[in-house]
Structure 1
Amino acid sequence: MADGESVERCDLVTLVADSVGSVVVTEVIWEPYRLVDPGGQVVACVSGFLGELQASGRTAATQRSYALDLLRWFRFLWAIGVPWDQATRGEARDFSRWLALVDKPRRAGVVRRPVGVANPVTGKRSPGGRYAVSTLAHSETVLRGFYAFHLEAGTGPIINPFPLVRERAGGRAHAHHNPMEPFGKERSGRYRPRLAQRVPRRIPDERFNQIFALLRSDRDRALVAFWVSTGARAAELLGARGGDVDPGQQLITVVRKGSRAVQQLPACADAFVWLRLYQCALGRSVPAGADDPLWWTSRGTPRPLTYHAARAMFRRANEALGANWSLHDLRHTAAYRMARDPRLPLCDVQWVLGHAHLSTTQLYLTPAPSEVITEVLAHHQRRQAGEALVDGARPTAADAGRPGGGYRAESLAALFDRPAS
């Protein structure tokens, strides 16, 4: 089947992909997640791929993420009536276009918030109505790996529907590479969108103090204090056990995401104080052994605290302030604080954060947008003050505090079409 045939057959304008099939969680450790079709049958080709991920050391959370990306692809295939093992690059191209332009489905019962609007407190935009570029890139990577797995096993199409970029005809790899610059990625997916490098956003100290004051329990204060002092990821800290805490050395042990390395992280003394207060308030029904979870729910029957429950806790504190910071912003805040300390080498910050490359840690040397805006406005005021001195008119204290952020009276008069006072 030629690529052009699928383009003519698939009408993206009228295509509607129903929310059929699902990713279900199981109690089987060998298969924590399954993808089921509209009839409730397990999709065997996806189960084989998820088993390969588990054998490669991928966590259950990673398997769930991959299964959700595959669910979108299968819903598209079910809508156009093409079996997964007969998909061509035409269907892959159509899917990439469709996923980039279609609106995200809304779950019933979820409160609809304005999409793509900047928060007045944080400056962060709320999620848009369409899939983010990072989601598109992750989806392309997952689907290319899924078909590469079946291509190697001989159970899928003989050509990967999600190919790599076209190689230069007769060109040599890195032919024009600057030897002073690091090597970039040699190959990427053809249908993978370009990702803009985002500068991490931190929580200003005064805003962090306000959020911390809105936390409702010692457990929440201990969690936030550990996150903002260790720079650990949310899931890494939530996976800590009772024996992972060493208050005497001010250390807490976590299992790193990705590498699964066991690493001790130094934390501030206040975090251990809040932790001890939280532990003293726990009832005797809560297990407190070295191998038992460190964090527990505070309502009903005690259960290990999950990531979603911790995120809801932090979201409630944000909503009271009118902000929309995330748990991962606490990691960014810790990284900014450490990277801006002139007495703390950047390589030490890299080790604490668990970054594989120092270039990733260097992102936290980038000033925050609010700091840049404040410095540039101060620069303009200094320039204006210098020009006034040259003209013989010395600026007064009233000029510094006048409305309009330092605009001249004649500029405001010209803007609003009124005589200058």
Structure 2
Amino acid sequence: MTDQEAASGHHERRLTTKQAAELLGVKPETVYAYVSRGQLSSRREHGGRGSTFDAKEVAALARRNRREPGGTSPAAGEFSVRTGITLIDKDRYFYRGVDATELAARHSYEEIAEWLWTGRLRPGITFTAPDATVTVARRAVNALPEHAAPLDRLRVAAIAAATADPLRFDLSPQAVLGTARTLIPTLVAALPSLRRDHRDEGPLARRLWTRLSGRTPDEASLRVLDMALGLLVDHDLAASTLAVRVAASARAHAYAAVSAGLGALEGPLHGAASSLAHRMLLEVLDRGTAVPVVADELRAGRRIPGLGHRLYPGEDPRARALFAVLEDLPSAAPALAAARDIESTAARHTPLHANVDLALAVFTASSGMDATAGETVFAVARTAGWIAHTLEEYEERPLRMRPSGRYAGARPPRPLPE
């Protein structure tokens, strides 16, 4: 006990990783997942080998977990929303009961979107947008400053497309499905192309490629992009999806609901994560080793991009599926090796697995794409999931997404301010 602790009569009790895991009822690696998400703080004691944790902080987290649905699971939230779209179960996730990674391996993005929306597969379906809608969206996007980010362009395109649709307030399922099938290709078509020979026809992945890379794509690369889109279509109630459902609960039309999702997606802890992983990968490739790059991140007190996920104590199944197909791309080999180097180097400090952001960064970095390309892929892919949640929320009681606040301010009545 230090002199300061003795004087204050307080002694901070520290727990080992094993003790913290036992108190929380989780595996030791999940304790580090809590740390990476900022739910626990750790400290390496002088002369000690492992991290230690504040006993009071661990006990408080254990109490919160017991109050939340799902017990001690780190995936549990403070409230739940009934949904039949996506189930996340340990190290797997399912779209309407079907393994999502298997769907993405065998079906196109458009086919998976239809499955999510209707519960039916439509082999060979492609989405097309009316010329008039694309013209309006492009005109709005082209008016933005040159430095506008991809998510800025997508938000503006969604709003512009809404203004071109006088029937957007028809919230019937068929009308919303019609909106979905034209909005997604409109978002892609509104983005500036990096190739003069681009043609806005055929599979969406091919059209999107020309907005992300100036290279001529081979079929293997297009298949990886299409698979990435399918893997990212939905992921239960992420922050952006919750924003979409809140908007849909208020009976906002589908364009407005998607716009709400795009706004939430821009947060650095959500859609922008792949950009950070992309930049880190390039730095590792430039320096030839992950050791100094990971050390710099840790020294700055930052979490390492592309590692760990609050819903998966083990490996992210989306990353596992993408890494498997990236192995077949010769151009991805250097970035893939850099990603493995990052994961193994970071494991000396925090045993976290690669997540889909790192896998997506391997693809974008090895395909001649900008660091923001992953955000664009994520946003376009997730639009289909947002539409599925919008359709589902329209079937629920209006304005049900209205939690009550817990007032923690000064107690009334107070005198009028001077």
Q: TM-score, normalised by structure 1?
A: 0.26
Q: TM-score, normalised by structure 2?
A: 0.26
The structure richer in helix per residue is 2
| Structure having the higher Rg | 1
The structure with higher relative contact order (CA 8 Å, sep 6+) is: 2
